[in-house]
Amino acid sequence: MGFNVTNSIKTSSDGVWQGENTLHYAFPLLIIQTTLVVFLSRLLALLLKPLRQPKVVAEILAGIMLGPSAFGRNKTFTNWIFPSWSTPILECVSNIGLLFFLFLVGLELDLNTIHKSGKKAIGIAFAGISLPFLFSIGVAFVLRKIIKGIDSVGYGEFFLFIGVSLSITAFPVLARILAELRLLTTQIGEMAMAAAAFNDVAAWILLALAIALAGGGGVHHSPLISLWVFLSGIGFVVFMFLIIRPIMIWVAKKSSNGNNNIVEETYICLTLVGVMLFGFMTDFIGIHAIFGGFIFGLIIPKNGDFSEKLILRIEDFVSGLLLPLYFASSGIKTNISQIHSVKAWGLVVLVVSTACVGKVLGTFVVGIMLCSMPMREALALGFLMNTKGLVELIVLNIGKEKKVLDDETFAIMVIMALFTTFITTPIVMAIHKPSSTQNPQLEKPQKKIKKQNNLRILACLRGPRDARALINLIESLRSEKNNNNYVSVTKLYVMRLVEFTDRLSSISMVQRARKNGFPFIGRVLFRDDATDQVGAAFEAYSTLGKVMVRPTMAISGLSDLHEDIIHVAEKKRVELIILPFDKYWQREGNEEVEIHAGHGWRMANERVMSQARCSVVVVVDRGLQLVNNGMRICIVFFGGADCSKALEIGSRMVEHPAIRVTLVRFIHHGSTNFDEVERTLDDSTIAEFKMKWGKQIVYSEKEANNLVNEVLEIGKSGEFELMIIGNNKSKFPQGIMAKLFDEQQLNNSEFGPLANLLASSDKGIKSSVLVIQQQQQEAKFGNSKVASCFIDKDIV
């Protein structure tokens, strides 16, 4: 059956049984194109992951491969998958995705952050823009002299498009690279993010000016038209800030405070319609439609959860499905075979070197002179600011659409964008040493405390539920009594764990968390009524004097999160790392529902437990109650270093007036794999504990032959709010091991057999559980003593 494009393009076919080729119809062809683009970009992202490349590199490469530079050289492939008649349809759909993506980018950028970024960040951004712009004067001159046909375009608009292309820093791509290198919360990361945000806004202003000057497709027109376009753009921005912004502030408040889901849905739908309406307005003015979406996202208030709801509603669909089509659309226009001569490749080298030297040199000089940065950090910052990405492609596509850039110039600039982004991660890794990735919040000078017996804790949490359990646990560890004329002081480093992904909401959360200062106050982190109570509780601890709170954040992918935790633990010489379990339980009606945080969080816990050089506690929270209302704790002791560490932690809890501690020791008289030295140490530990706390605790001994049933009975009884148990993953009485394996499968790989049993969801356990693991570095000093991964001599 023949296909005649001169008649009309039908949306869908009548099917293969009617003898029709579905690829000759718009909608099924669009489905195939979308599937191919998404599959190829995801495959390349997976292949480039070991090189720590941002996803945008894979998406640009996928677009180029689908174009005439690679697969498109095969005419059969092009005629079947990307025929010329489908290009306008593909571009329309991809531009809808681009419009909403730029709206999301506007939601990312917080003008208050730019305003408060300080002179240093603004100076770095200005140098990173101005020097490449100056260099682009010469680059534009050389390109116009060598490439034929470009001189028909006015020098002013050509120079502006080249200047904007060379001076751009891709804010979203930079954030992902910083997260991949675990630099987001460092001084260099914060400086780069603030400067990139300012750079982003400046780039859009310059691009608007370039479009206004370019006018109608490279055709010379009256300068008065360009002036009207530019003034209309300024009028649109003023209208958005003076008229629309107050309306959106009111909408955000109503949406955040209201409980009416129908009203909230209405506001969100009207906002999404507004994206398209304001996109139409800027296109009507003569500026690209994406400006309308970007400015609209920029004016929406960032406080409250309205902007976050918008991001969550459309982010995956736009970024995961529609945006890759834009890269494919750009790739179809990119023909690297146009760069076929030595002279043309010389131009590629010229453009790439000019882009790198201009951006890196400008940032480097200002970083040293204005910010007094070390040379390595200033150089690394320069390469970070040289990151390109989607915004670069947008500039180039608009320039090609306006006929300011021809095919060869377009291909040269795309190669420049791809190369500069690709080299950023490896160069920064080579220049910037891992030792400098420490969080600046932890580098504040500390006063030495003459008091002894300080307990240093690094407590990690993911959200409000973890925070509530953490407060109760820290409160139970806090000593209330004077012992030998000194007070037991607890120093608490509270680390907010943030999983950084390719989602725009990750960047938004990072910005807001940094803006809040104390990372636990703000709806972006806690979205329930306990927000103010949690923040107030930590502030209260900080002012009490007995618990000194130092908040910090770890922002990484789950595969690297353990490195941040261990790094801070070693740097601050903590004795104890507290981790939340990867699942928790909450009651919905009459049923208790198990909620999983995800396999990645479990693996992060397991890596910390296997690699940390100090003791690790995992909190299996089943609704730990406030200690001020009374808490009953059961310590289960069956021998070994981990159980001795559990006993040590329990001894601190005995001192709390609201806590009652019960110690249950299980004795195994049969053959064990515990040697006599360890048995002697166990006896010594128990004897010392009873001698010190015998009048304040309840002590009992039981036969270990029935250990499994006895421990399960304790957990099921509901008699104790909290059970403390040693992990004992590697050493366990052999006679009991078979019984444990018969009882359950070891679903939690980070735990030993008995801890695994108490963390299970199908055994009816009612008590929360602390699973304690003491590392071998500590155990060698003797498990009957207070052990720490570092010797603490008045170092705070």
| pLDDT for 712 beyond 80 | yes
For the chain, give the mean pLDDT.
79
pLDDT digits (tens, 9 = 90+) for 82-118: 998 998 999 999 999 999 988 988 887 777 766 666 7
pLDDT of residue 790: 28
The whole-number average pLDDT for the span 376-402 is 89
Question: Which H or E run contains 340?
Answer: none
From the number of C-beta atoms within 10 Å of its C-beta (0-12, 13-18, 19+), residue 777 rates as middle
CA atoms of 614 and 787, how far apart (whole Å): 9
pLDDT of residue 9: 76
pLDDT digits (tens, 9 = 90+) for 568-581: 898 888 989 999 99
Length of the chain in terms of residues written: 796
Q: Which of 267-271, 478-482, 720-724 has the lowest mean pLDDT?
A: 478-482
pLDDT digits (tens, 9 = 90+) for 434-489: 543 444 444 444 444 344 456 788 999 887 778 778 877 887 877 655 444 334 55
pLDDT digits (tens, 9 = 90+) for 196-212: 888 888 888 888 888 87
CA atoms of 507 and 308, how far apart (whole Å): 11
pLDDT of residue 546: 61
pLDDT digits (tens, 9 = 90+) for 678-687: 778 888 888 8
pLDDT of residue 47: 93
CA atoms of 39 and 34, how far apart (whole Å): 8
pLDDT of residue 659: 87
pTM of the complete model: 0.74
pLDDT of residue 280: 95
CA atoms within 13 A on the CB side of 264: 14
pLDDT digits (tens, 9 = 90+) for 727-746: 876 555 555 555 555 555 55
pLDDT category of residue 541 using cuts at 50, 70 and 90:
low
Q: Which of 136-140, 499-503, 775-779 has the lowest mean pLDDT?
A: 775-779
| pLDDT for 1 beyond 60 | no
Residue 151: DSSP 8-state: G
Residue pair 417/405 in contact by the 8 Å Cβ criterion:
no
Residue pair 674/761 in contact by the 8 Å Cβ criterion:
no
pLDDT of residue 302: 80
CA atoms of 577 and 275, how far apart (whole Å): 46
| More confident site: 326 or 184 | 326
Residue pair 175/385 in contact by the 8 Å Cβ criterion:
no
| pLDDT for 191 beyond 60 | yes
| pLDDT for 51 beyond 80 | yes
pLDDT digits (tens, 9 = 90+) for 551-567: 777 878 788 888 889 98
